[in-house]
Amino acid sequence: MQALAGKVCVITGGAGSLGLAAARLFVDEGARVVLVDLSLAALEEASRDLPAVQVMLVAADVSSAQDTERYVQLAVERFGAIDVLFSNAGNFGTVAPIADYPLDIFDAVQAVHVRGALLAAKCAVPHMRDGGSIVITSSVAATRGDAGVYAYITAKHAQVGLMRCLAKELAPRRIRVNTVHPGPIDNGFQLAVEQGLGEAIGADGTEFFNGLIPLGRHGRPEEIARSVLYLASDQSSFVTGTTLMVDGGMSC
């Protein structure tokens, strides 16, 4: 039996590797999916192999209240009430000493990760079916602190607080809310992070991260997506308010 048969799922950050991997898996499991990202062209390119009858593409800025209201309304108009919200949009920012950290970059990262996740829930929850699921992509970064990574790590910690508040509020409706915490993923987003780190430490950033992971490698988007599917589906019917680590043991 398909785990998401007939369910309506909204995925932000839909053109990225994790959003797309989740979309493919959700479609295979019977869902109708609304993919949201900043660029329609990127969405169209990424989703070529997905069945148009099950997938809707919407270009939107997740930090904009107006854009968020619009993509939620379009999702409801096309497919009906929402069962799953996968709040996955993200950006990294930069690495710099606190005295030099650019405030505009700090604000931009909070706007996407924290404001974006809050807006998604604020606009989607009134249109969600009871018994649904909200999954927020946080990170292993939410379990640690690293000098210079002020915007990203702060945002990832904040998402956990948001998740816990939502989990308490929405429990009477049986809407479960959880965060998923990937470690380094083998994708373009992580590669850009590692190139910046490599320049800062004078070493190979990818090998540096592999050395921190007990399993000794980066995760694959498909592996993280399977954990998202677990949280999105009724397989996790008694799981809410939790932080699911999918990091190869990096947070041990």
Active site includes 150? no
Taking CA atoms, 130 is separated from 6, 32, 137, in Å, by 15, 18, 22
Q: Measured at the alpha carbon of residue 177, what is the angle toward residues 172 and 181, in degrees to the nearest 5? A: 160
Tokens of 164: 């816990």
Helices (H) and strands (E) in the chain, counts: 9, 7
Of residues 195, 162, 192, the one with CA closest to residue 177: 162
How long a stretch of residues is the chain? 252
Tokens of 246: 């999918």
In whole angstroms, give the CA distance from residue 135 to residue 178: 5
Given the residues 71, 150, 152, 230, the one annotated as active site: 152
Q: State the DSSP code for 245.
A: E
Q: What are phi and psi of 131, to 5 degrees?
A: 85, 5
Report helix, strand and coil shares of the chain as percent, to nearest 5: 50, 20, 30
In whole angstroms, give the CA distance from residue 167 to residue 59: 28
Residues carrying an active site annotation? 152
